[in-house]
Amino acid sequence: MALSQEDIAFIKTHMAEWLTEQSLGKPAAVYETELRERMVRVEEELKHQRELMQQGFERVDKRFEQVDSRFDEMIRRHDRHFLWLIGFITSVGALIIAAGKFW
C-alpha cells in the first residue's frame, strides 16, 4: 500500500506531536532546558569532586609532614646514640691503653 502525498503531509505535520506524546521526542525548548539543567548538575558534581580531591591532597600533605618530622626526630635520636657509642668506644679504648701502660 503506497502512501499518497496527502498522507505524507499529514504524517509530517503530526509527527512531532506524536513523538512528544510518546516521550520519544521533545520540543526544542524543553530539550534545551533539560540539557542546561543536566549540564548544571554535572558542573556542580565536578566542583564537588574537585573539592574532595583538594581535601584529600591536603590530608596527604599533612601526613607527609608528620612522617617527615617523625623521621627527623628519629635521625636526631640516632645521631645522639651514635655519638654516645663513639664516646663510649673512645673511653674504653683509652682505658685499655692506660691499663696497658701501667703493666
What's the pLDDT at 45?
96
In this model, does residue 25 exceed pLDDT 60?
no
Number of domains in the chain: 1
Q: What's the domain range around 50?
A: 17-102
CB-based contact 52:41 (threshold 8 Å): no
Assess if residue 72 is contained within a domain: yes
In this model, does residue 100 exceed pLDDT 80?
yes
What's the pLDDT at 35?
87
The confidence band for 23, taking pLDDT boundaries of 50, 70 and 90, is low
In this model, does residue 16 exceed pLDDT 80?
no
Per-residue burial over 59-88, b = 16 or more CB atoms within 10 Å of its CB, e = otherwise: eeeeeeeeeeeeeeeeeeeeeeeeeeeeee
Assess if residue 9 is contained within a domain: no
